[in-house]
Amino acid sequence: MEIEEHISTEERIIKAAEKIFLREGYAGARMQEIANEAKINKAMLHYYFGSKKELMEKIFSAKFKEFIPKVTEALQSETTFENVLRVYIDTYIDMLMRNPYLPLFLIDTMHRNPEFLSFTQNFPGKLFAAWLQKQVDLKKIRPIKPHHLLLNMIGLCVFPILAKPMFQKVFQIEETDYQQILTERKEMVYDFVMRAIKIDDE
Amino acid sequence: MEIEEHISTEERIIKAAEKIFLREGYAGARMQEIANEAKINKAMLHYYFGSKKELMEKIFSAKFKEFIPKVTEALQSETTFENVLRVYIDTYIDMLMRNPYLPLFLIDTMHRNPEFLSFTQNFPGKLFAAWLQKQVDLKKIRPIKPHHLLLNMIGLCVFPILAKPMFQKVFQIEETDYQQILTERKEMVYDFVMRAIKIDDE
DNA sequence: GTCTATATACAGATAGAC
DNA sequence: GTCTATCTGTATATAGAC
């Protein structure tokens, strides 16, 4: 019975480090706090992972992969452009609402500790860009550079998560109301993007 | 002649603190680095500003104000909706390209050091929201909640600045090419938003 | 593997001469 | 106002017993 219930020390450290690094960022995170969270002492952290840097590398490269959308399958399936768009936005916003700390953690790290970027493998995102370009060539959508369309789509999904505290402050929005806004955006973003790129019929 | 050339120590500290806090964030900033940048020693920092926290408060509240768009005049002028939108996006992207560190600094601070928020005065942003709602009521644009439209507009401007390192990595874009993309967006964002919210003629 | 105790470095902050 | 020297706390990291 213990086999299923037991969580290894290493696994507990990983989970604790994820929580603290994502919430506090690399500079703000404290090894002591990670140790407390994992219910061990600081010495154990170094026994398992050597240094704060090495532990961060582990967490960062894993989270980086999580954030890059896995659209490969969707693109290969023989479905409509509209469906791909809808699935993409739905999946992305769902993931973000479950991981609200993820975007700030990645963006902050890539700006202020770019050394950790070297520990991620190369991520050629050109597949989706090429697919979007094909949709333009096929006149499924208006002419628009794939990079712009991607920045638009991802920005419309991610920015409201990043800007939450600022937006709540400036527009004096309560927590529950903001959650409501985020939920509405799955429909809204799809609609907004479709209107912006659809080809007028006549 | 010295009157014009002289920059007070206090002013030099402010400038130095801006540079370091914006680049490194509160947790990552070092008082020693600020002192070096201002070409003084650490003791002087404390003589002028007391503590790291007090210095940060000064910088944060000033930068927070800078980021909130000053649209009051534009809204009161008797111009078209299209012009307000164009001026808003133009002004915002211009400001962001001159201050690339600003969005991350503010967003990071508001998430991870929300205590500094209390040092900003209340910023009711409801003026612009109300104006947008009026445009909907007047059937100048499609029905859309002002909060959504604002999140969309600001997100389309700000996100590409925040996501720059990630986007460059994933799509393997050179620095000059990315700057080119950012420049193009002044036109592109206006066009994208207008298409998304305009009312079809027939 | 896990712990306590400690080494080492460096941060923010202060004392006091000038 | 400005400096050097120093205090104090705390961070990462290690030594060594069990």
Chain centroid to CA A71: how far?
14
Chain A residues in contact with B28 by the CB 8 A cut-off are 25, 27-28, 112
Q: How far apart are CA B128 and CA B92, in angstroms?
A: 15
Q: Does A80 touch chain B (CB under 8 A)?
A: no
In this prediction, residue A5 carries a pLDDT of 64
Residue B2 φ/ψ, nearest 5 degrees: -70, -25
Least confident of A5-14, B16-25, B38-47: A5-14
CATH 1.10.357.10 assigned to A68-197 = yes
pLDDT digits (tens, 9 = 90+) for A4-24: 468 899 999 999 999 999 999
Q: Cα separations (Å) of B19 from A24, B22, B100?
A: 21, 5, 12
CATH 3.90.79.10 assigned to B2-62 = no
> Domain coordinates of chain B in residue numbers?
2-62, 68-197
Q: Is the pLDDT of residue B199 over 50?
A: yes
Nearest CA-CA partner of B143 in B153, B134, B152: B134
Per CATH, B2-62 and B68-197 having the same topology is answered no
Q: Is the CB of A46 under 7 A from strand D?
A: yes
pLDDT digits (tens, 9 = 90+) for A15-70: 999 999 999 999 999 999 999 999 999 999 999 999 999 999 999 999 999 998 77
Q: Is the CB of B43 under 7 A from strand C?
A: yes
Q: How far apart are CA B121 and CA B25, in angstroms?
A: 21
Chain centroid to CA A23: how far?
14
Nearest CA-CA partner of B17 in B46, B97, B96, B161: B46
Length of chain A in terms of residues written: 202
Distance A115 CA to C10 C1' (A): 21
Chain B residues in contact with A110 by the CB 8 A cut-off are 165-166, 169
pLDDT digits (tens, 9 = 90+) for B49-104: 999 999 999 999 999 999 987 777 777 777 888 999 999 999 999 999 999 999 99
pTM of the model: 0.96
Q: What angle (nearest 5°) sits at the alpha carbon of residue B110, between those of residues B157 and B104?
A: 40
For C5, nearest residue by CA–C1' is A43
In this prediction, residue A202 carries a pLDDT of 53
- On whether the CB atoms of residues B141 and A157 are closer than 8 A, the answer is no
Nucleotides of D under 7 A from a protein CB: 1-5, 10-16
Portion of chain B with pLDDT greater than 90, in percent = 83
Q: Does B148 touch chain A (CB under 8 A)?
A: yes
pLDDT band for position B202 (cuts 50, 70, 90): low
